[in-house]
Amino acid sequence: MLKIEKFEGMVAAPFTPMDSKGNLKTELIHEYYYFLQKNGIVGAFINGTTGEGASLTQKEKQLQVQKWAECLKEGGKVRIINMVGGTCINECVENALFSYEAGLSAIAVIGPYFFKPSNDSHLAEFVAQVGEAVPELPVYYYHFPAMTGVNFGMAGFISKISKMLPNFAGIKFTHEDFMDFTLCLNYNDGAYDLLWGRDECILPALATGCKGFVGSTYNFAAPLYHLIIDSFNKGDLETARRLYIKVAKMVSLLGKYGGIATGKAFIKIAGIDCGGFRPPIKNLTEEMYNSLKQDIKLLGLQEFLSKK
């Protein structure tokens, strides 16, 4: 079996930088990478949901891989996971091989969300077929049933995939089922890397013993989460709970201003302008952007934003 180097700390799910016409702006990735590193981020989960992976062409995904890999090769400390999954298994394998050849740290495979697997064994077979193409690269499963509709218990899945794929590393768990998460976290004495994927539930995730977290808001509010994690680890639950209220208020602003596109507005305020999202996602108007900035100040969130 492949030796698993677990992630401890925050793994940001980067936005895909784009220009005003919706074309990739890959020249920003170097600055973005070191912005994350400066703010204590330990990993980047590229081409995922936040990164608009489903809205990118195959070539665009690979261009992103190349640019993020360049930062890693020049001595960067932020490890890179590439989300290679999708609806076409041949493209998944192609992206997995490309990730390995580029020198990335790991790959992730999401459940195929058009023609869906019929059960957890069928899902494990799909993931294993992709992972077998890159036996020296750690493979994560990306569990996000709210988006994919692929909703099997991960405790059953992990018991099956562990027997099929020697380089299976763990799960990016983006679902609120804490019982299922805890069973996976402790499967085979904690053999696998379970990465919590709901930023707004980080405090209860810490209570399960979770050490690694993947999310979009870590892009622009890393200092807030560092304080929560540090407070929890010190046993200062009062401070952790008080700061957790800030997380709830911050995440509520994403909903207030239309969802995922608000994240790019947040990181622009923090100093990294990644442009807008591609259709059909609606971007913030200038009026909404200015209103968001005011809300950030009113809620006292400004001091918790990541710094350039």
Catalytic residue annotation: 142, 172
Question: Are 95 and 62 contacting, i.e. CB atoms less than 8 angstroms apart?
Answer: yes
- Which amino acid, one-letter code, is at 72? L
Tokens 């890393």 identify what position? 222
**Residue ranges in 165-260 assigned as alpha helix (H):** 178-185, 202-207, 222-233, 237-256
Question: Are 262 and 292 contacting, i.e. CB atoms less than 8 angstroms apart?
Answer: yes
Burial of 118 (0-12, 13-18, 19+ CB in 10 A): exposed
Question: Are 71 and 41 contacting, i.e. CB atoms less than 8 angstroms apart?
Answer: no
- DSSP character string of 16-35: PPB-TTS-B-GGGHHHHHHH
